[in-house]
Amino acid sequence: MAFDTYLLKRADFIFKNENDWEKILDRTLKLPPNEIINELMSSELKGRGGAGFPTGLKWKLTAEAPADEKFVICNADEGEPGTFKDREILTLVPYKVLTSMAVCAYVIGAKVGYIYLRGEYKYLVPELRKAIKEFEYFCNEVKHDFRIKLCLGSGAYICGEETALFESMEGKRGEPRNKPPYPTSVGFKQSPSVINNVETLAHTFTIFKYGAKKFYDLGVQYSRGSKLFSVSGDTPIPGIYELELGMSLQDFVNEFGDGDTKAVQVGGASGFLVPRKKFQETAIGYKGKLSGISLPTGGSMMLFNSSRSMYNVLDNYLEFFREESCGQCTPCRVGCQQLYNGIKAVKRGEKPTSYLDKLLKLTETMKLTAKCGLGQSVANSFSSIVENFREEMIY
Partner 1 sequence: MNPVQDLIKSLAETHGRKRENLLPILQGVVEKEKYLSEYAMIEIARELELPSAEVYGTATFYSFLEHRKMGVYTIRVCKTITCSMKGKNQILEAIEEMLKISLGESTPDGKFSLLQTNCLGWCHKAPAMLINNDVYTELTPEKVREILKQYIQPTQN
Bridge partners of 233, per DSSP, are 303
Q: Segment 346-385, which members bind partner 1 (CB under 8 A)?
A: none
Query: Least separation, in Å, of the C-beta of 270 and ligand SF4?
Result: 11
Q: Is 174 in the site for partner 1 (CB under 8 A)?
A: yes
Kindly state the smallest distance separating residue 122's Cβ from partner 1, in Å: 4
Cα separation, 207 vs 246, in Å, equals 19
Distances (CA, A) of 370 to 178, 226, 268, 285: 11, 32, 19, 25
Q: Is 161 in the site for partner 1 (CB under 8 A)?
A: no
Residue 176, binding choice from partner 1, ligand SF4, none, Cβ under 5 to 8 Å by partner class: ligand SF4
Determine, following the binding rule CB under 8 A, whether residue 325 of this chain makes contact with partner 1: no
One DSSP character per residue, 177-201 reads PPSSSPTTTS-GGGS-EEEEEHHHH
In the complex with partner 1, which residue's Cβ is closer, 55 or 380?
380
Q: Which amino acid would we find at residue 282?
A: T
Interstrand relation of 147-152 and 112-117 (parallel, antiparallel or unpaired): parallel
Compute the least distance from the CB of residue 29 to partner 1, in Å: 29
**Partner touching 212 among ligand SF4, partner 1, none, CB below 5 to 8 Å by kind:** none
Q: Measure CA of the first residue to CA of the last residue in the chain; give whole Å.
A: 36
Contact footprint for ligand SF4 (CB under 6 A) = 158, 176, 325-329, 332-333, 370-372, 374-375
**SS3 call for 195:** strand
Strand partners, 272: 266
Shortest distance in whole angstroms from residue 161 CB to ligand SF4: 7
- Least Å from the CB of residue 164 to ligand SF4: 8
Check residue 147 for interaction with partner 1 (CB under 8 A): no
DSSP structure string for 98-128: HHHHHHHHHHHT-SEEEEEE-GGGGGGHHHH
The closest of 24, 22, 59, 13 to 38, measured between CA atoms, is: 59
- Per-residue binder mask for partner 1 (CB under 8 A), 77-116, x = binder: -xxxxxxx-xx-----------------------------
Q: Which is nearer to partner 1, 114 or 182 (CB)?
A: 114
Using CA atoms, how far apart are residues 208 and 21, in angstroms rounded to an integer? Answer: 10
Give the residue, chosen from 163, 168, 184, 377, that forms a contact with partner 1 under the rule CB under 8 A. 168
Please identify, using beta-carbon distances, which residue of 310 and 374 lies nearer to ligand SF4: 374
Residue 23 contact among ligand SF4, partner 1, none, beta carbon within 5 to 8 Å by kind = none
Please give the residues from 205 up to 244 whose contact with partner 1 meets the rule CB under 8 A: 230-234, 238-240
Closest separation between CB of residue 242 and ligand SF4, Å?
31
* Cβ contacts of 254 within 8 Å, gap of 6 or more: 8
Cβ-based nearer residue to ligand SF4, 195 or 374: 374
Residue 129, number of CB atoms within 10 A of its CB: 12
**Per-residue contact track with partner 1, 253 to 282, x per CB under 8 A?**
----------------x-------------
User: Cα–Cα distance between 77 and 80 in angstroms, integer?
Assistant: 9
Q: Please report, for residues 101, 193, 248, the alpha-carbon distance to residue 65 in angstroms, rounded to integers and kept in the order given.
A: 18, 9, 39
Task: Respond yes or no on whether the N-terminal peptide bond of residue 181 is cis (omega within 30° of 0).
Answer: yes
CB 232 within 8 A of CB 82: yes
Least distance to partner 1, CB of residue 356, Å: 21
Residues near partner 1, by CB under 8 A:
78-84, 86-87, 118-123, 151-157, 168-174, 189, 230-234, 238-240, 269, 302, 308, 312-313, 316-317, 319-320, 323-324, 326
